[in-house]
Chain A
């Protein structure tokens, strides 16, 4: 599903070059649930952005579903993200002017699905994630945990093969955080959803099948849980 080989990422800040990733090798198979952990500045987010086709590596190769994503045009990368990758962001990133239902069906709409089907899919997804009664609520009317569940529903509504979660529990209390990770765990077990989770909390990361620790832009260690 994901194959990283010798991936480097160097940011240029004027004359200063910052090595965010230093030769990362990683393989994630379909149905894996992998957590990436490490302290701030270890390169977790940079790695997620490269896997999520949001950024390009400076050196090395990145294959997702056997596609060399670095070789794709910007338009193709956008289409690839729409069809193949679901994102869950730290700050929920819901559109405040849309209801929960509308936020969820945006990816369906982007994929060209008709309105009726969009609503049906979004409703089903909300039921599945236990927020079926919050259809017409706007983001500001939802708790942090509910907003993150809406965000997960939006990430999954196009049935992507890969779900990327970037610190999805960072803004939540411990109960809501556990709830969100449990949902991810359940999705992985029930529909074999491939998940890459970024977190700085070891206890949450340990709920994945495998943990990868980064330090100073390199893989420090890997462990199966």
Chain B
């Protein structure tokens, strides 16, 4: 019936201030339903990127526990096979070592990763995380890159520092580029190394807590050849990791445990699950806010119009049509509020992707998933209708005689 949209529009035009208020409340409810998840997705991505870029890459191959060997064998031929798979950007082998570093009477236990810098540059971003000095080159021997947390800071540099990982950790008390340290490896070999560079990133990161050396040095220290603790594989698309894991499995690598980045990093997975729960809770709160807001406003709106509702029924408007007028208003509130909210969220996300927020853990770019945006539209409109239904129904069922006696 034409009268339903006609009366709904006229009512909304008359109560412009209330309508604008409701629409803004709904728009911000939409923002609440979408922006926070987008922010958390961005945060999760920042963590994941850090883990992928400095730890696991997209796929990581390690020896199986049952193999009783800490190393993968025939690494170069395995990597060649992997590199031939279309969609693989590159692979890199890492050798893991551990030991104790000594410097000017101080010592600390460290994890050491040995790699071939030219190979690794296609797979991780470790080479880009140099804060001071230089990164390693393929032919370097007797040189290391030291994580800033291991290097630590000199006392005078730490005065006045209250925050940040560097300030919290003394490390070796301030090792500088060009200085020499002694490393005693877990196999008993002890060697002197020159610090070529200091690595680190803005926040929580492996590169701040690891020593890097060339694979050539590590092979000599460990007495191994064509072996590695892990092979890291970089893909053109991070989201294809599960599919490529299967393709690599089909290569029939013996004694190899193949994991995607999300499987390898329980931290990233745990973070995703935690953020997922937080998003569900905030969504529920958002829905309650929407229903309460729209419900209260429509209730007040209908209460103010008791006499007119009575008159409309008296002159022949069916109560179902009357209810639909208020429901139509609720629907319009929901639609306009959603459109405005979507405009606010999309423009904010767009702006923040150009100008990301720099957090201690890294640069944060919010990621708004289409599914989140669409779900929020559905939730908001459904909530508006449900919230509008009860007061609309009550209003339409009021006794005519009670309502027309009300003097406006």
Contacts and interface: CB of A to CB of B under 8 A. Distances in A.
Label chain B's interface by main secondary structure.
Answer: helix
A224 interface: no
Contacts, number: 69
Contact of B2 (A55, A96, A102, A109): A109
Interface in A64-102: 74-75, 78-79, 81-83, 87, 89, 91, 93, 95-98, 102
A109 B11 contact: no
B153 interface: no
Contacts of B2: 109, 115
Nearest to B6: A109
B314 A106 contact: no
Interface residues of B, number: 26
B401 A109 contact: no
Contacts of B1: 110, 112
B318 A97 contact: no
A97 B14 contact: yes
Nearest to B316: A82
Interface stretch (B132-140, B181-189, B305-313): B305-313
B408 interface: yes
A145 to B, nearest CB: 18
A102 B10 contact: yes
A5 interface: no
Interface string B334-377: 00000000000000000000000000000000000000000000
B315 interface: yes
Interface string B1-29: 11100110011011000000000000000
B13 A97 contact: yes
A82 B313 CA distance: 9
A159 interface: no
A102 B11 CA distance: 13
A38 B289 CA distance: 53
Nearest to B13: A97
Contacts of A154: 315
B404 interface: yes
Most buried by A among B2, B14, B314: B314
Given A93-B404, A110-B3, A78 B11 contact: no
A50 B309 CA distance: 19
Interface of A: 49, 52, 54-55, 74-75, 78-79, 81-83, 87, 89, 91, 93, 95-98, 102, 106-107, 109-112, 115, 154-155, 158
Given A78-B316, A81-B316, 11 more contacts: A54-B314, A55-B401, A75-B318, A82-B315, A82-B317, A89-B404, A91-B407, A93-B311, A95-B311, A97-B11, A106-B3
In the A-B complex, list the 7 residue pairs whose CB atoms are closest, starting with the nearest: A82-B316, A97-B14, A93-B311, A97-B10, A109-B3, A81-B316, A54-B400
